[in-house]
Structure 1
């Protein structure tokens, strides 16, 4: 088991940029469900990490200030029967995360019919998703340059927006300039997303 862990750690280290020397991860199940959170040790210090079946949460503190924040990377189960347990885990995390908190990842569900290129979505599916987002008191960070984040890669593709980023009010206060963009897709059927978060407030031109 130790040898397998060392091999996995080595593979992840070779995959990451040299600046991201520290990381935590959750192994994939087959070809899906793997989660990796990495950070630059010169900029952030890990204060705490929480592992659940489908999520990894980290509390990071900025090395140059006393700003700290939680990030939860998730992979929501495809099967409806597994989602109740996942949602309960997320509420448990939510109750223990004070201060700025964000949730990012593959939610495997949509908020509205507009999130599918077919224009169709289950009312029950969208209601359940929106209800637990409301109960957790988080809001979505809109993607600025793309309508959909996943494709089945067929000639007549099915397109959906199932990957996104949600944050609480404390995150909004700490990082008011947060934006979300897509990046170039190489081999995955998901488009990578890039979140930029900043505390910088633009200066007024008035005096």
Structure 2
């Protein structure tokens, strides 16, 4: 599943049209948003020229003369349209992603230039999100930065940038990090990152592997943005203990039993062999935390229903207290687990805010992903080649060249006499210890 948005600044000319086709074919884009099309009317013929074969769905906002214009095209096998809303600078389609029956909203945006116009656009978008009441994905040219380093030569944020940042926080949107480039817009010496993709937390929970990258801008002054909902590729993972394990009474007992069962193996071999049992134990005891919590909550509700129907005794009350205690214990385990995975330093947020830590952990995984690497002066995106290059780099870095083995008797160390040897073996006096410490 791949979505893309691009500020093309007009589709006139076969060069830009060819670039859009290449982008779609290369990345197998299933939803394509084009900004500043400069078209007052978009026909089916125009869409067919851009999309190629197939029967795509599409909606557009016409330009105001030669200014603006939005076009959103999607594969109808992937997305089913339910409603469409339009503004002067935004285009919203509400529907369902058929693969996983996920109701959502896509909003394509062409940001305003003046501060008052920007505020008006943010208010309209807030209203649309409240109207749809489903997870949303905003993508396009917002014409505003969020951090000072996103615009070259900028020291602080303007008032409109601060208001845009506050709007993102107020809407509880996550700004997908762009890992393979710093800026998305270029004009002469000026460059900034004004193109971005913002998604709601519900969207991020449905697509935790969503990954943002930029494409070559070619004839445009903007880089295209590609959102890909793919699994992150990874190699071998180092062993890591989880803090939540130590909240379970059976964990240390399992470790002791496994350690004794390894017998007389060397210490390092025992440590290596002990990395597998905790994984199996985790899967058996922590693999379905959510289901266990739901099961306890259902049992608690069942006891409440019995009390509502007039059935009450001390045994029922004791059972309910035990269920509440067990359910609370699993809430804490889940919370501790995701806090460790997120490496969050916000200790005050430990209030069963598992969703917060889960999203931070997902963001960390996206940020740590090596999507491209410069190898011998060339930009490489192939994951297999990147893995080989990294492995060879560290293999050469820590490689030790063969050197002749030399012993103590090869002239490196002079043998001391018997008197010096005895002096080294004498226990130090209290005065010598005092002088050494105070020195």
Contact 1:20/1:38 (<8 A) preserved? no
Identify if the C-alpha distance between structure 1 residues 32 and 110 changes in structure 2 by more than 3 Å, giving closer, same or farther: farther
1:137: Cα distance to partner? 1.1
Structure 1 CA distance for aligned equivalents of residues 232 and 94 of structure 2: 24
Identify if the C-alpha distance between structure 1 residues 145 and 126 changes in structure 2 by more than 3 Å, giving closer, same or farther: same
Q: Which moved more, 1:63-72 or 1:189-198?
A: 63-72
Structure 2 CA distance for aligned equivalents of residues 184 and 123 of structure 1: 29
Q: Which has the higher helix share?
A: 2
1:181 corresponds to which residue?
A: 213
1:35: Cα distance to partner? 1.5
2:63 corresponds to which residue?
A: 28
Contact 1:106/1:163 (<8 A) preserved? yes
Contact 1:73/1:104 (<8 A) preserved? yes
Q: Is 2:147 the partner of 1:115? A: no
2:362 corresponds to which residue?
A: none
SS for the counterpart of 1:49 is: strand
Q: Which moved more, 1:143-152 or 1:90-99?
A: 90-99
Structure 2 CA distance for aligned equivalents of residues 74 and 19 of structure 1: 26
1:20: Cα distance to partner? 6.2
Q: Which gives a bigger RCO, structure 1 or 2 (Cα 8 Å, sep 6+)?
A: 1
Matches within 5 A, 1:64-143: 64-143=99-178
Q: Which moved more, 1:49-58 or 1:80-89?
A: 80-89
SS for the counterpart of 1:159 is: strand
SS for the counterpart of 1:42 is: coil
Structure 2 CA distance for aligned equivalents of residues 168 and 78 of structure 1: 25
1:140: Cα distance to partner? 0.2
Contact 1:180/1:196 (<8 A) preserved? yes
1:55 counterpart (61, 80, 90)? 90
Unpaired stretches in structure 1, ≥5 consecutive residues:
none
1:170 corresponds to which residue?
A: 202
Structure 2 CA distance for aligned equivalents of residues 113 and 53 of structure 1: 28
1:40: Cα distance to partner? 0.8
Unpaired stretches in structure 2, ≥5 consecutive residues:
1-39, 238-278, 281-439
Contact 1:110/1:125 (<8 A) preserved? no
Contact 2:72/2:108 (<8 A) preserved? yes
Q: Deviations over 1:37-71 (max 9, x none)?
A: 11111222111111112111112312333222111
Q: Deviations over 1:69-109 (max 9, x none)?
A: 11111111112232222121111112123232111110111
Count of residues in Structure 1 that have an aligned counterpart in Structure 2: 199
1:177: Cα distance to partner? 0.6
Q: Is 2:224 the partner of 1:192? A: yes
TM-score of the aligned structures, taking structure 2 as reference length: 0.42
Identify if the C-alpha distance between structure 1 residues 140 and 60 changes in structure 2 by more than 3 Å, giving closer, same or farther: same
SS for the counterpart of 2:163 is: helix
Q: Aligned-pair RMSD on alpha carbons?
A: 2.4
Which of the pair has more CA radius of gyration? 2
Contact 2:145/2:161 (<8 A) preserved? yes
SS for the counterpart of 2:43 is: helix
1:42 counterpart (77, 91, 111)? 77
Q: Is 2:147 the partner of 1:147? A: no
Structure 1 CA distance for aligned equivalents of residues 120 and 48 of structure 2: 31
